[in-house]
Amino acid sequence: MKKLFYKQISTKNIISFKKAFATTEVNKNIDLDNFLNDIKTNESKTWEYYVKGINPDYEPRKEMYQFLKNQNINVYRMTVYEIECFTKWILMRKIYGDKYPQFPYEITFEDKINQLKQKYPLE
């Protein structure tokens, strides 16, 4: 196997491979620097698009965003788990009525909203 490999490689291929590898590494570093700058400066639109339901295009998440924004909750600070849960709960309420979702220990949907208002107030 090594003999076949050595016969097929020439010095031109090695030099071009080194050039391609070096430019790829530089591009990766630039992408990483851009990503870190987005995180540090809070200019990244990816999280905003996800929360608003734009990317991926998901209508229930758009409704959840508007609903929680009207309740004075900062949706951008919520975790992915909380966003997905509230999206499901609002969709259940839309489909099945106000008695859903049902939580254990006599917790209501309004209690969950009040909990979010305390945890993530809109400033």
- Which pLDDT tens digit goes with each residue over 2-49? 444 444 455 555 555 555 544 545 566 776 776 666 666 655 678 888
Contact 53, 65 (CB under 8 A): yes
pLDDT score of 56: 82
Q: How far is CA 97 from CA 32, 65, 85, in A?
A: 46, 19, 17
Q: How far apart, in whole angstroms, are the C-alpha atoms of residue 71 and residue 1?
A: 67
pLDDT of residue 59: 92
Provide CB contacts within 8 A for 58, sequence distance 6+: 87
What is the 8-class DSSP label of residue 73? B
